[in-house]
């Protein structure tokens, strides 16, 4: 599964903030230049109006057209202009007489009527100052924006670390916190509301989980101690009856049932308790253990049982095989897998126990399974060969593997059931 890319909160806010500032700056630049344009237009219009009135005055006073202001070329029209043809505005560049630099001008060509004659007037105005002002506004905004952006980025780098320090500390505290050690999660003091809320929520959750954990732990402890005591009494009473020959000659069968069922119940509650304890993660003694000596010890312990069933045991063990697991639970895994192999194996070939750098596998010969392997991992699964076994052995193994991120694999090949354990990802 591909995980969507994630970004730091601060980078995200900075990015959004930058976009927002950019838009703000850009639109204010647009607004300001528009304002400037309007101002220019307005100002020019006043100048043009002044010129037009002056030309009109001069024509009325009888000045010849050549004498009229140089900056307003005036031509007499022979006929009345079409309406809407004038005025015409035009922007041009004209070289400065002294420096030869091209400067912007705006011309207005319009028609004025003086004493029923029409004159076309072409007025030229320099707009250099206006345009420089407008460009200055625009150009001043770009460095201002860049400055601000740089400032924000610097702030992000320098101050962001400081602002988020309590957040990171809280995360570390969460990560380091372990249930059931009786140590309270570290409390980080911060004046940031959000962080405080998150932290408080975390502490509340921890308290609830801690409470659940304690209840379950107490429950299993009570079960272990308190249930086993009456069971011990039952077993003892049965043993007392067994010692009584008179009773036994009549009641041996019944007493045996009481004795057997008592034993079964006791083993059942033991194993269920163990399962619950594992589920509740009460075994915390995880170590990296080299399995070879432990496997050898277990093989030695069942060697003689195997011989009684005329099984051979073959081992091929690597010194390099290691597992990160609670040693007590590893014992349970081995015991159960070996017990299963002894119980269900046939003596067509040896029970083999192999380890390499990664895998631990135990295999025994036997007919193929009639049900999927997963079924065997279910609690209280019985294959119908009597009910002396609890049907919890493989469930235990599975549970332990799950808790230690180990993968339990099953294969049937060449007439052999192969169960293997390897570290998961």
Partner 1 sequence: MKILLVEDNSRLSDDIRQFLEEDGFIVAQAENFALAREKLDLYQYDAVIIDIGLPDGSGLDLIPLIREMESDTGILIVTARNAVEDKVAGLNRGADDYLTKPFHKAELIARVRSILRRHKSSRNNVLQFNNLQIDTAASQVYIGEKTLKLTRKEYDLLLYFMYNPNRLLTKENIAEHLWGDHIDQADNFDFVYNHIKNLRKKIVNAGGENYIHAMYGMGYKFSETS
Residues within the interface to partner 1 (CB under 8 A): 221, 224-226, 228-237, 239-240, 242-243, 248, 252, 255-256, 259-260, 262-263, 266-267, 270, 273-274, 277, 283, 298, 301-302, 304-305, 308-309, 328, 335, 338-340, 342-343, 385-386, 388-389
> Measured from the CB atom, is 54 or 335 closer to partner 1?
335
CB 268 to partner 1: min, Å: 11
CB 285 to partner 1: min, Å: 8
Starting at the edge strand found earlier in the chain, the sheet holding 102-114 runs 72-77, 117-126, 102-114, 88-95
> Measured from the CB atom, is 88 or 252 closer to partner 1?
252
> Measured from the CB atom, is 18 or 258 closer to partner 1?
258
CB 404 to partner 1: min, Å: 16
CB 10 to partner 1: min, Å: 46
Count of Cβ atoms closer than 10 Å to residue 399 Cβ: 23
> Measured from the CB atom, is 338 or 419 closer to partner 1?
338
CB 202 to partner 1: min, Å: 29
Q: Which residues contact 314 (CB under 8 A, 6 or more apart)?
A: 350, 351, 352, 353
> Measured from the CB atom, is 45 or 244 closer to partner 1?
244
> Measured from the CB atom, is 336 or 363 closer to partner 1?
336
CB 339 to partner 1: min, Å: 5
Asked whether the bond before 87 is cis by omega within 30 degrees of 0, the reply is yes
CB 335 to partner 1: min, Å: 6
> Measured from the CB atom, is 63 or 335 closer to partner 1?
335
What's the farthest any 2 CA atoms get from each other in the chain? 160
> Measured from the CB atom, is 171 or 241 closer to partner 1?
241
CB 259 to partner 1: min, Å: 7
CB 365 to partner 1: min, Å: 17
One-letter-per-residue 3-state SS of the chain? CCCCCCCCHHHHHHHHHHHHHHHHHHHHHHHHHHHHHHHHHHHHHHHHHHHHHHHHHHHHCCCCCCCCCCCEEEEEECCCCCCCCCCEEEEEEEECCCCCCEEEEEEEEEEEEECCEEEEEEEEEECHHHHHHHHHHHHHHHHHHHHHHHHHHHHHHHHHHHHCHHHHHHHHHHHHCCCCCCCCCCCCCCCCHHHHHHHHHHHHHHHHHHHHHHHHHHHHHHHHHHHHHHHHHHHHHHHHHHHCHHHHHHHHHHHHHHHHHHHHHHHHHHHHHHHHHHHCCCCCCCEEEEHHHHHHHHHHHHHHHHHHCCCCEEEECCCCCEEEECHHHHHHHHHHHHHHHHHHCECCCCEEEEECCCCEEEEEECCCCCCCHHHHHCCCCCCCCCCCCCCCHHHHHHHHHHHCCEEEEEEEECCEEEEEEEECC
> Measured from the CB atom, is 23 or 324 closer to partner 1?
324
CB 244 to partner 1: min, Å: 10
> Measured from the CB atom, is 119 or 283 closer to partner 1?
283
Reported residue count of the chain is 425
């Amino acid at each position: 599964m591909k995980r969507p890319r994630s970004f730091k909160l601060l980078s995200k806010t900075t990015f959004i903030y930058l976009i927002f500032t950019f838009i703000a700056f850009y639109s204010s630049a647009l607004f300001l230049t528009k304002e400037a344009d309007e101002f220019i237009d307005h100002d020019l219009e006043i100048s043009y109006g002044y010129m037009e009135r002056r030309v009109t005055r001069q024509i009325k006073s009888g000045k010849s057209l050549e004498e009229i202001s140089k900056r307003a070329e005036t031509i007499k029209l022979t006929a009345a202009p079409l309406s809407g043809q004038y005025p015409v505005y035009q922007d041009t560049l004209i070289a400065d007489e002294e420096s030869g630099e091209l400067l912007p001008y705006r011309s207005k060509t319009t028609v004025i009527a003086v004493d029923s004659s029409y004159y076309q007037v072409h007025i030229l105005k320099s707009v250099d100052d206006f345009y420089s002002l407008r460009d200055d506004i625009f150009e001043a905004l770009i460095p201002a924006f860049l400055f601000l952006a740089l400032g924000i980025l610097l702030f992000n780098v320098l101050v962001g670390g400081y602002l988020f320090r309590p957040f990171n500390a809280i995360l570390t505290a969460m990560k380091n916190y372990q249930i059931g050690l009786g140590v309270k999660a570290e409390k980080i003091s911060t004046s940031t509301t959000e962080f405080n809320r998150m932290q408080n929520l975390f502490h509340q959750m921890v308290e609830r989980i801690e409470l659940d954990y304690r209840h379950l732990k107490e429950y299993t402890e009570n079960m272990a101690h308190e249930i086993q005591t009456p069971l011990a009494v039952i077993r003892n009473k049965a043993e007392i009856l067994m010692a009584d020959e008179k009773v036994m000659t009549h009641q041996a069968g019944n007493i045996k049932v009481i004795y057997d069922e008592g034993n079964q119940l006791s083993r059942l509650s033991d194993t269920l308790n163990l399962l619950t304890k594992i589920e509740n993660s009460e075994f915390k003694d995880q170590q990296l253990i080299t399995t070879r000596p432990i496997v050898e010890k277990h093989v030695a312990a069942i060697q003689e049982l195997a011989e009684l069933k005329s099984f051979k045991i073959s081992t091929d063990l690597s010194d390099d095989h290691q597992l990160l697991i609670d040693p007590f639970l590893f014992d349970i895994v081995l015991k159960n897998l070996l017990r299963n192999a002894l119980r269900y194996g046939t003596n067509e070939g040896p029970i083999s126990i192999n380890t390499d750098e990664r895998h631990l596998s135990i295999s025994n010969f036997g007919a193929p399974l009639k049900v999927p392997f997963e079924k065997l991992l279910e609690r209280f699964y019985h294959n119908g060969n009597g009910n002396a076994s609890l049907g919890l052995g493989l469930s235990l193994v599975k549970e332990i593997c799950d808790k230690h991120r180990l993968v339990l694999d099953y294969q049937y090949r060449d007439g052999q059931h192969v169960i293997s354990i390897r570290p998961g990802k």
